[in-house]
């Protein structure tokens, strides 16, 4: 099961889930949607299977992966769940919140998943396809976003095919993902919460669910989120953000009244903008123009996560 593969796209349904589960039981990896972005899933308890994720993505091995579970009981078999994390779980699972937790002493998660860290990132997805797959496999699944390392996250089966075609046997297609941004990643302490990656669940929502605990934003280069390489989301075309006056040859990604070749949300709706962000970046990158210019996006609410992804996309070494 090491490829190269003829990559098949199968529409979501009983047959697609059964085929995906069979590939995973055989130690392989397949792409499947979650409510955030498409994931590249494999058995998190099988180190060789997880290595095939890294191989398909071409991902640096120091970058730990998120483990997906059906419920809190499954999470408790992998990691220790403190009181603050439990409150966040009660408020937001299933949903787009990943928690970094200390590994349980007898955790079955393969060490390649955590890249040797004493902690594991766990999330409980809400999407029917990923939930059906978790139920069919009966084990926790490691799944990073289904794009080549350093590429833009995939929010449609066609994005996965463009990035990983030939490197995996199967893509389960259940349409465009609802949120279009990867999950929020947080790590709880007794008296505060560290926000390791902004996402659909905002800092304000985390604080409120935890009885008003302060939420501290960890900066992108922090050791606590080693996968947050600043160039992680970079498209091939140079990209500038917060552009008020774009150059004539730029592909312009607009927001609100400031239009462009694509408008993330003509009405200025940040949820709509987040859902279409990676699709817009894929289209801009494929346009053939020499540069991409993104209009200003407000920083409130989901705008914090959108601007975080845009800053990474703009970063160049």
Q: In a 3-state reduction of DSSP, which class is residue 139?
A: coil
Binding mask 91-110 for ligand TXA (x = CB under 6 A): -------x-x----------
CB closer to ligand TXA out of 50 and 100 = 100
Please state whether the peptide bond connecting residue 294 to the residue before it is cis, i.e. omega within 30 degrees of 0: no
177 binds Mg ion (CB under 5 A): no
44 binds Mg ion (CB under 5 A): no
Ordered alpha helix ranges (H), the chain: 14-25, 47-57, 72-76, 83-92, 111-114, 128-137, 157-164, 203-209, 270-286, 303-314
In the region spanning residues 139 to 158, those forming contacts with Mg ion, defined by CB under 5 A, are: 145
69 is in the binding site of which of Mg ion, ligand TXA, none (Cβ under 5 to 8 A by kind)? Answer: none
What's the length of the chain?
317
276 binds ligand TXA (CB under 6 A): no
Find out whether 12 is annotated in a ligand binding site.
no
Taken in order 227, 233, 237, 240, the sign of the CA dihedral is negative
Instruction: Name the residue with tokens 């919140």.
Output: 97
Binding mask 18-47 for ligand TXA (x = CB under 6 A): ----------------x-xx-x--------
Query: Under 8 Å CB-to-CB from 211, ≥6 apart: which residues?
Result: 87
65 is in the binding site of which of ligand TXA, Mg ion, none (Cβ under 5 to 8 A by kind)? Answer: ligand TXA
In this structure, are residues 151 and 59 in contact, taking their beta carbons and an 8 Å threshold? no
86 alpha-carbon distance from chain centroid: 22
In the region spanning residues 194 to 213, those forming contacts with ligand TXA, defined by CB under 6 A, are: 196-197
Q: Which residue is nearest to ligand TXA (CB)?
A: 227
Instruction: Name the residue with tokens 């809190």.
Output: 72
* Site residues, Mg ion (CB under 5 A): 145
Which residues form the interface with ligand TXA (CB under 6 A)?
34, 36-37, 39, 63-66, 98, 100, 114, 117, 119-121, 123, 143-145, 182-183, 185, 196-197, 224-228
């Amino acid at each position: 099961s090491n490829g190269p593969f003829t990559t098949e796209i199968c529409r979501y349904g009983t047959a697609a889930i059964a085929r995906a589960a069979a590939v995973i039981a055989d130690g392989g990896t397949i792409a499947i949607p979650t409510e955030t972005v498409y994931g590249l899933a494999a058995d998190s308890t099988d180190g060789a299977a997880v290595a095939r994720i890294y191989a398909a993505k071409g991902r640096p091995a120091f970058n730990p992966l998120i483990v997906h579970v059906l419920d809190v009981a499954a999470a408790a078999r992998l990691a220790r769940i403190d009181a603050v994390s439990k409150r966040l779980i009660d408020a937001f699972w299933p949903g787009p919140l990943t928690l970094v937790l200390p590994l349980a002493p007898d955790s079955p998660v393969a060490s390649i998943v955590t890249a040797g860290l004493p902690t594991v990132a766990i999330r409980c997805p809400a999407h029917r396809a990923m939930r059906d797959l978790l139920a069919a496999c009966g084990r926790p699944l490691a799944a990073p976003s289904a794009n080549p390392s350093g590429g833009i996250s995939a929010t449609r089966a066609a994005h996965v095919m463009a990035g990983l075609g030939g490197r995996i046997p199967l893509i389960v297609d259940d349409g465009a993902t609802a949120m279009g941004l990867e999950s929020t990643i947080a790590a709880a302490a007794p008296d505060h919460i560290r926000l390791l990656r902004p996402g659909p669940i905002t800092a304000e929502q985390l604080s409120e669910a935890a009885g008003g605990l302060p939420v501290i934003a960890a900066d992108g280069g922090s050791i606590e989120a080693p996968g947050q390489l600043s160039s992680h989301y970079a498209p091939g075309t140079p990209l500038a953000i917060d552009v008020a006056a774009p150059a004539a040859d730029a592909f312009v990604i607009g927001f609100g009244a400031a239009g462009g070749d694509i408008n993330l949300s003509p009405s200025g709706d940040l949820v709509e903008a987040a859902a279409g962000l990676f699709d817009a970046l894929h289209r801009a990158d494929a346009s053939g123009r020499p540069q991409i210019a993104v209009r200003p996006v407000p920083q409130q609410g989901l705008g914090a996560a959108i601007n975080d992804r845009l800053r990474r996309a703009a970063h160049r070494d």
